[in-house]
Structure 1
Amino acid sequence: MRFSIVGISHWKSDVSIRELFYLDGERKDRLRHYTRYIPGGAVVLDTCNRTEMYGFCAPEVLIKALCESTNTKPEFLHEHGYIHTDEDAYQHLFRVGIGLDSQVLGDVQIIQQLKKAYKEASKNHLSGEFHQLFQSVLKAHKRSRTETDFGRGSASVGFAATQVALEHFKDLSDIQILLIGAGKMGKVSCKNLISNGAQHISLVNRSIHRAKNLASSFDIKAHSFEKLQAEIEKADLIITATGATEPIVRPEHLTGTHQDKLLIDLSVPRNIDTAVANIDGITLIDMDSITEANEQAIEQRKQAIPILQQIIDEELSEYLRKIDRNNFMLPRIKEIEERLSTITDSELEQVKNKLDNDAYKNLEKVTHRIKKKIMAIHIDRLDKEFEKILNDA
């Protein structure tokens, strides 16, 4: 069955184009309506950098569903998006899952987003081919992290900040986090923290209106700038990401604190006075440290690309082999099973009235065990036939 992908991403289109395909709740409902009759179902991946649809169908089916749901024209998607089918589509999905197609090479966020898309689509009865395909993609992702250095090191500012926090605290679920700044970097940092388990985040911003808007998006607490000192005192982790031209957090804010704190300054110019690093119990990380780690991580990840392509080819080949095996064996197994059931049901029916209830139930159990053993012999034979066909091809 043909496998197709249609989509739009940061590689070809800027945000003004991508946002036209953004899927809010109403659009997702419309999309479910258009995809419910696609054989095998459809998976929809929707992130800030891409909107993609996957399906075992002609690409035109997916294009119509996406464009009807987003009030866009198919010609517009053809111009600004992309279409992949069969081998190209499989390769693209594996590259997306591993992080090779991400804006930040090796981005770990994408696999979580892909898992979420798969889980959501699974509610609508995906085909066995889809389940096997996503298990293969997840396996390829796992291998990319265990067999190469592709996943080591930080490779984006927001992600890097979260990784520094995880290395320092090990677990983010119980710590108090203060985020200073409600701009783009603050939003990205907040998303990264929450996706890695953070549950107690407070936001301080000079514009309380802007702070409340961001806070409502993530269900976190927003405070006016007048509450800065009080929030600093409560926090275990402080992240600054504002456009201020001079330090916001100074030594006097931290003098007399009785708990260790990690401070991460994501701002240029710096928002945290470097003198705070001299205070006992305070650890300060700035953009220079993060940028250097990012550059090293990207170079390290680039070196792993040839091995990653080999992993993709191996897992894709194994997936296609499983599909071919299923297509060969399942109809034959079904036919044998139906014939066996017809024979055994007929024989059991003939003796049903000649035996008492307990004896008949025991005979049913014995018959069932015999059927299973006969089926195992046939499955083994079919497996060998399939392997012979592969070897002779």
Structure 2
Amino acid sequence: MRFSAIGISHWKSEVSIRELFYLDNHRRELLEFHTKDIPGGIVMMDTCNRTELYAFCDPEILISALCKSTNTDREFFKKHGYIHVQEDAYDHLYRVGTGLDSQVLGDVQIIQQVKQAYKKAKKKGLSGEFHQLIQSVFRAHKRSRTETDFGKGTASVGFAATQLALDHFKDLSKVRILLIGAGKMGKVSAKNLISNGAEHISVVNRTIDRAKQLASSFDIKAHAFSDLNEEIKKADLIITATGAKNPILHPQHFEDAGHPQLVLDLSVPRNVDPKVSELEQVTLIDMDSINESNKKALEKREKAIPQIQKIIEDEKGDFMKRVKRSRYLLPRIKEIEHRLSDITDGELDRVKNKMDQESYSQMEEVTRRIKKKIMAIHIDRIDQEFEKAQNET
């Protein structure tokens, strides 16, 4: 069965389009229902920059399932999304896993997002070949970090947000900062801001306990969601990173602030109503406006791209060889094992009633060991046949 990858990402579609395909819990449940019969399982990637599906099936099956689950039109998806099959699909997954396809080249968060998608997919069931593929992607990512400069320096979206803040304010020590959302992006943002001199940070979250947990980790202030309006008025810099399905910040939230404010919306779907950008005292930057900020790190990463591509080719080649080997060996091994079992089971049945139980058990064990050794000889022979066939092609 062909390996397929379909998706929609920042490379081709702006945030207003991407958020139409965002997978909340309800949509994910629908998607799981519409893809439950796909042999080998499915991996669903959903981040602030992309929604992607990977499976061993025809891509039209994935497109149909995604559009049904998000109430979108197939032609609309094909206009804004992308479809990869076989070699292109494998290449795309490796590029995503290593960070070559990220908005910020080499983004350190992407591999964690792939791992989360893989973890969820495993619970639903994945084929052995799918497991091997994902493990190969993980090896390519690890090698890209240990054998090259691709992982040197910090160039995640959270770090890029900090660079934008520094470019805007120059000095963060006096800036009053409000984080809305206490998830991973909020945590990364807090860490980067503090390491760059920020001293006045507050966090607001719908769940106050989660806000307090983040606050205690970085010695910052936590506030209940009911304090949101008041905290917005005080803040010079507001960073939003929540899982809300619709905008939670609107123009009226900023009308009484009385001072200039920078708002960084790091969420998809967007947390901030685009009309906020029309306010004179507010500068709004969303995910589509974030530019690579760590120039030195990115220069190193760009120079390492040929090495990463070589690593991908190596790992993909090894994976494909293992797949071919399995497809060549397994049916032959099963056939030999079946024939051996027929012979040994038949011979054991002939003597079963002529021996006492202890002697018969010993005979069974000896037969099992002989069978195992014969199988090892055949597996080695078939493996050599496979290598010879590979060298001749």
Report the TM-score, using the length of structure 1 for normalisation.
0.73
Structure 2 residue 188 is matched with structure 1 residue 192: yes
| Aligned AA (1:17) | I
Match of 1:220 in 2: 211
**1:19–1:349: structure 2 CA closer, same or farther, 3 Å change rule?**
same
**1:157–1:387: structure 2 CA closer, same or farther, 3 Å change rule?**
closer
Match of 2:363 in 1: 363
Report the TM-score, using the length of structure 2 for normalisation.
0.73
Shift of 1:158: 2.0
Match of 1:15 in 2: 15
DSSP 3-state at the match of 1:221: helix
Match of 1:333 in 2: 333
In the alignment, structure 1 segments of 5+ residues that lack a partner are: 163-178, 197-201, 206-210, 224-230, 248-266, 270-290
Shift of 1:221: 2.7
DSSP 3-state at the match of 1:351: helix
Shift of 1:312: 0.4
Write the distance in 2 (CA, Å) between the matches of 1:292 and 1:69: 33
DSSP 3-state at the match of 2:84: strand
RMSD, aligned α-carbons: 3.4
CA contact (8 A) 1:7 1:82 kept: yes
Match of 2:202 in 1: 204
**1:191–1:222: structure 2 CA closer, same or farther, 3 Å change rule?**
closer
Write the distance in 1 (CA, Å) between the matches of 2:335 and 2:153: 53
Match of 2:179 in 1: 182
Write the distance in 2 (CA, Å) between the matches of 1:195 and 1:113: 19
Shift of 1:123: 1.4
| Aligned AA (2:210) | D
**1:195–1:2: structure 2 CA closer, same or farther, 3 Å change rule?**
farther
Write the distance in 2 (CA, Å) between the matches of 1:157 and 1:9: 15
DSSP 3-state at the match of 1:52: strand
Write the distance in 1 (CA, Å) between the matches of 2:183 and 2:116: 20
**1:22–1:329: structure 2 CA closer, same or farther, 3 Å change rule?**
same
DSSP 3-state at the match of 1:303: helix
CA contact (8 A) 2:40 2:55 kept: yes
Match of 2:165 in 1: none
Write the distance in 2 (CA, Å) between the matches of 1:321 and 1:115: 24
**1:159–1:334: structure 2 CA closer, same or farther, 3 Å change rule?**
farther
Match of 1:74 in 2: 74
Question: Number of aligned pairs?
Answer: 316
Match of 2:42 in 1: 42
CA contact (8 A) 2:2 2:56 kept: yes
**1:7–1:92: structure 2 CA closer, same or farther, 3 Å change rule?**
same
Match of 2:27 in 1: 27
| Aligned AA (2:142) | K
Note the 1:351-390 alignment, pairs <5 A.
351-390=351-390
Write the distance in 2 (CA, Å) between the matches of 1:67 and 1:292: 32
Note the 1:80-95 alignment, pairs <5 A.
80-95=80-95
Higher relative contact order (CA 8 A, sep 6+): 2
Shift of 1:92: 0.5
Match of 2:96 in 1: 96
**1:160–1:15: structure 2 CA closer, same or farther, 3 Å change rule?**
closer
Q: Percent identity?
A: 57
Write the distance in 2 (CA, Å) between the matches of 1:195 and 1:79: 39
Shift of 1:5: 0.5
Note the 1:162-177 alignment, pairs <5 A.
none
| Aligned AA (1:33) | F
CA contact (8 A) 1:40 1:130 kept: yes
**1:99–1:237: structure 2 CA closer, same or farther, 3 Å change rule?**
farther
Write the distance in 2 (CA, Å) between the matches of 1:221 and 1:302: 39
DSSP 3-state at the match of 1:111: helix
CA deviations on 1:270-315 (whole Å, 9 max, x unpaired) are: xxxxxxxxxxxxxxxxxxxxx9982211111111000000000111
Shift of 1:127: 1.0
Structure 2 residue 145 is matched with structure 1 residue 145: yes
DSSP 3-state at the match of 2:117: helix
DSSP 3-state at the match of 1:30: helix
Write the distance in 2 (CA, Å) between the matches of 1:195 and 1:61: 42
| Aligned AA (1:362) | Q
